[in-house]
Amino acid sequence: MSEIASIDDLFDGDDVTADVHELTLPNGKVVKVRGLSRYELILAGKGTEDGALIERRNIQMCMVEPAMTLGQVEAWQKRSRAGGGGYALVSKTIRDLSGLGEGADKSDLRAVRDES
In tens, the pLDDT along 1-14 reads 899 999 988 888 77
The pLDDT score that the predictor gives to residue 34 is 96
In a domain, 105, yes or no: no
Q: How large is the average pLDDT for residues 65-90?
A: 94
Long-range CB contact pairs, 15-21, < 8 A, 24+: 16/97, 16/98, 16/109, 16/111, 19/97, 19/111, 19/113, 20/64, 21/93, 21/97, 21/114
Domain count, the chain: 1
In a domain, 8, yes or no: no
**Above 50 in pLDDT, residue 112?**
no
In a domain, 30, yes or no: yes
Give SS3 for 64: strand
Per the structure, the complete domain to which residue 70 belongs is given by: 16-97
In a domain, 107, yes or no: no
In a domain, 49, yes or no: yes
pLDDT digits (tens, 9 = 90+) for 16-66: 888 899 999 999 999 999 999 999 999 999 999 999 999 999 999 999 999
In a domain, 68, yes or no: yes
